[in-house]
Structures are given as C-alpha cells and as structure tokens.
Amino acid sequence: MTKIMTSLVGMLTAVMLTIGLAGSAAAQQESTWERIQRTNELRFAVFSYAPYFVKNPATNEWGGALVEMARDVAKEMKVDLKFVEVGGFGELVLAITTGKVDLAAGMQATPVRATAIDFAGPIYHIGWVTVNRPGFEARDWADYNNPDVKIAVMTGSSDQLLLSQNAPLAQQVQFKELSQIILAVSSGRADAFTTTVLSSMIAKEKNPGLGSFENPQPRASLPGYFGIPSESDPRFKNFLNWWAEWNNKLGHNENRMKQGMLDYSGITEIPDSVSFKE
C-alpha cells in the first residue's frame, strides 16, 4: 500500500510540474497585444525632447506631439497610457527588447534596428531643410550642389547622408554639435547648414543672426515610425498600422506635429512650405 501511495504521489507531482511548466511557457509566450489587454495598460517610452516629449516640471505631466499620438492610440485601444522614462533615442531598442515598454515613437526604421525590433507606420514624415548665412542666396538643392558652396552638417548623422544624396558636389563642413554648426553659419565660415525642419526652425527662432530658412526642392524627407516588439502575433502591429494610415489621411498627425512645434518649441510661426506628410 505504501508503494502504491508513493507511486500516486509521484505521478501527481509529475502532473503538477507539467502543468506548472506549461503555464510558465504560456506566460512567456504572451504577446504584447495580450499583455496590454490583460493589464489594461499601454507602456510608452518618453524622455525630454521638445516638441516630441515635454515634461511639465510643475505637474510632472507629459505633453508633446508624439505624446498626443500615444494618448490617442491608448484611447482607441480603450486602455490606460503609462509613461516610462528612458534615456533617449539611443535606449529605445533596448527598452523594447527587454520588455520595459510596449511602444516607442519617432524612430527611423533602419535595417540594423529591424534585426532587433519591429516597426509600425509611418506616423509622419520629417523633412530636411536648410538655413543660409546672411547674404547667401540659395533655395533648391541644385543651388547648393556647387563645389564653391560650404554646408555645415553634423558628423555621422542622417543630415550628412541626405546632404550627400541631394547636393553631392557641395563642400561638407562637419561638426559634432548643432551649436557649432549654427556658429559656423552665423559667422560666415559656412554658407548654410542642413538638418531636420524641427531643429532648423528652433535654431532660426533662437538665433536671429542666421539668414533665410529654405525648404529645398525636390523635398528630402524620412519617415518616422512606432517601434514595437518583434513577435508572431500581428494584432498590435496591424492596429498601429491602420491607426497611422487613418490619422495621416485625415491630417491628424500633421496637425499634432505642427501644434507640438507651436506649443513646446518657442516657434511662433510655421511656414506654409513645412509639411509632415509624405
């Protein structure tokens, strides 16, 4: 009788262990969509970067163009939005792969990043523009594409890549920081600089000694995406893709980007030529 009881106990223990392992495996296989629905919470990556993410020091509330997009995503999913602070753009991939956040925004879908995470969107397109030194006249990329023209650009950036594509004959004057670039152009050591429309407009607003702001044609732009976990369950990505298409076609994301510039960047006027559409 003792041997029988021992055998039964052993069998029950094995069954319980099997059930426990199965439950653990099921928990590990829970997709992002399932976790959000179960917890009623969407975790969104934020850090100080106007006009995308801005924290009010008085209330600790987050605002900004991409924050407003995330709020609408959570509203449409009928879940709560939780802000998770990270160190900056350089930490977004790690925050996603380690499960710290469900969603990041404002990312460029580079091939290297795509080996670690997935993307949804695009949620907007960011244009590259130019700011001239006083007295220098150029409007389109053909005007800048001249070996006698010196254009300041940040080393190793997308700015440098797009300049090489659109004005390959221009002399590149490379700097590590935007402040150095602004000084070079305002002092006349460079004829112009190129960077994103956001950085350019903020720089022009804060440095009245700079010359004209130009939006060269043909338009140069790159898409901005949501960053999400790479997984087999397509529901979260599908939802975000359709959200992006709907909000882009209705002009909502264009309005959110422009309003964010006005509310959080100190910019008082946005030229008609500035667009966040494709």
Q: Write down the pLDDT at residue 8.
A: 45
- What confidence score (pLDDT) does residue 148 get? 97
- pLDDT at residue 26 greater than cutoff 50: no
Assess if residue 101 is contained within a domain. yes
pLDDT of 260 higher than 80? yes
pTM of structure: 0.80
Kindly indicate the confidence band of residue 244, based on its pLDDT and cuts at 50, 70 and 90.
very high
More confident residue, 16 or 112: 112
Q: Looking at residues 82-107, what average pLDDT do you find? A: 96
Domain shared by 8 and 66, yes or no: no
> Taking residues 3-29, what's their average pLDDT?
50
Q: Which residues contact 185 (CB under 8 A, 6 or more apart)?
A: 131, 132, 133, 152, 191, 192, 193, 210, 211
Residue 4's domain comprises: 1-30
The closest alpha carbon to 221, from 129, 155, 84, 138, belongs to 129
Same domain, 107 and 150: yes
Chain mean pLDDT for the chain: 90
Question: Does residue 152 lie in a domain region?
Answer: yes
Tokens 């112009």, residue located = 192
Q: Assess whether 110 and 20 both reside in one domain.
A: no
Residue 36 domain flag: no
8 A C-beta contact, residue 47 and residue 53? yes
85 shares its domain with 25: no
Residue 18 has pLDDT above 80, yes or no: no
- Residue 268: inside a domain: yes
User: Average of pLDDT values for 11-31?
Assistant: 55
**In-domain check, residue 214:** yes
Structural domain count of the chain:
2
Question: Mean pLDDT over residues 237-247, rounded?
Answer: 98
The CATH number of the domain holding residue 73 is: 3.40.190.170
Say whether pLDDT at 27 is over 60.
Answer: no
Q: pLDDT-based confidence at 7, cuts 50/70/90?
A: low
Question: Are both 125 and 199 inside the same structural domain?
Answer: yes
Are residues 146 and 220 part of one domain? yes
Give yes or no: residues 117 and 218 share one domain.
yes
| Residue 159 near residue 195 (C-beta atoms within 8 A) | yes
Do 78 and 184 lie in one domain? The reply is yes
Confidence at residue 266, expressed as pLDDT on a 0 to 100 scale: 83
183 lies in the same domain as 232: yes
Shared-domain flag, residues 253 and 119: yes
**Do residues 165 and 145 share a domain?**
yes
152 and 171 in a single domain? The answer is: yes
